Amino acid sequence: MLNINNISFAYSKENVLEDINLNISFGEFVAVAGPNGSGKSTLIKCINNLLKPQKGNIELSGKKIGNLSKNEIASIIGYVPQYEGRTVPTSVFNTVLLGRKPHFSWAPAKKDFEIVEKVLNQLDLQDFSIRDINTLSGGQRQRVYIARALAQESKILLLDEPTANLDLKHQLEVMKLLKEISNEGFTVIIAIHDLQMAMQFCNRFVLLKSGNVYADGHHEVFTNEIIEKLFEVKVNIQTIDNQKIIIPIYKNDI
Ligand code: ADP
Ligand code: MG
């Protein structure tokens, strides 16, 4: 239902994404990983139509995304950028309520308020609801933006490094929540550096290297060879309690 057909994207001359082909179904929880600058954020922005590929196209349930209006896209795709800095002063509650905007035309209804309350609870933000988001820590603010995307109830959720600013407890809570959402049939795509966290929760891994898909699959993509070539570090991958553990080795150069 999300088809990325042979897209290439360049900010100026050089391609930052090259001939990317991915077909992603409902209910998949996809981790996009790869070194800094490999094109993760660019890919996510192309899927969201914030950037338009020079070559290829992206289809949502068979419709070219370039032909959809901003509102139509917002009703299908929720997006949490990599980092949002200070904004105009607004309460946490109102920020999350904005996520309901594609669902109401003039004023929010009772149901919209109920959904906002539900996601505030899910993200452990109930005590912050009247706070100005600019007074929150980076991690708390990150959770507000995740809450806003969840309130949107879009079929596809794109999150760019959603756990980067979070403490361990909230990383786990966010990943668990995203997994539950994907189990309900929503598609969740995240850029993530923490491979261990990705392996624990995601069920598909797209590894990018210099704008190309270097590997795409389930846990089998995590081999010494692939991870070493991708990140240019030596690793030792072991299985403990049926779970792969990636141990970086600092001693020897490859
Ligand atoms: P990642 O999210 O994997 O770290 P990005 O998609 O942000 O990578 O960046 C991919 C490449 O595109 C990098 O080389 C980066 O420098 C370049 N790039 C990103 N954003 C811009 C921009 N707005 N203008 C020009 N180049 C950019
Ligand atoms: Mg990025």
238, two tokens: 């072991």
d(CA 176, CA 173): 5
| pLDDT score for 252 | 56
Residue identifier of the C-alpha nearest atom 6 of ligand 1? 39
| pLDDT score for 74 | 87
| pLDDT score for 139 | 85
What is the CATH number that goes with domain 2-89+154-221? 3.40.50.300
Ligand 1 centroid – CA 16 distance (Å)? 7
Sign of CA dihedral 188, 192, 198, 203: positive
Residue identifier of the C-alpha nearest atom 13 of ligand 1? 37
| pLDDT score for 75 | 87
What region, left, alpha or beta, does residue 174 occupy, with left being phi > 0 and alpha being psi -120 to 50 degrees? alpha
| pLDDT score for 86 | 76
Per residue in 214-249, pLDDT tens? Answer: 999 999 999 999 999 999 999 999 999 988 999 999
| pLDDT score for 250 | 81
Query: What does residue 231 show for φ and ψ, rounded to 5 degrees?
Result: -105, -5
| pLDDT score for 83 | 76
Tell me if 245 sits within 8 A of 235, measured CB to CB: no
Using a 6 Å cutoff on CB, does residue 102 contact ligand 1? no
Domain segments of the chain: what residues? 2-89+154-221, 223-254
Atom of ligand 1 nearest to the CA of 17: 10
Using a 6 Å cutoff on CB, does residue 41 contact ligand 1? yes
Average pLDDT, the chain: 93
pTM confidence score: 0.93
Ligand having the closest approach to the CA of 162: 2
Find residue 235's DSSP bridge partners.
248
Ligand having the closest approach to the CA of 34: 1
Query: What does residue 138 show for φ and ψ, rounded to 5 degrees?
Result: -55, -40
213, two tokens: 């898909």
Using a 6 Å cutoff on CB, does residue 17 contact ligand 1? no
List of the chain residues with pLDDT < 70: 252-254
Using a 6 Å cutoff on CB, does residue 36 contact ligand 1? yes
Using a 6 Å cutoff on CB, does residue 138 contact ligand 1? no
Ligand 2 centroid – CA 17 distance (Å)? 13
| pLDDT score for 152 | 93
Per residue in 65-93, pLDDT tens? Answer: 999 998 889 889 999 998 777 788 999 99
Ligand 1 centroid – CA 56 distance (Å)? 19
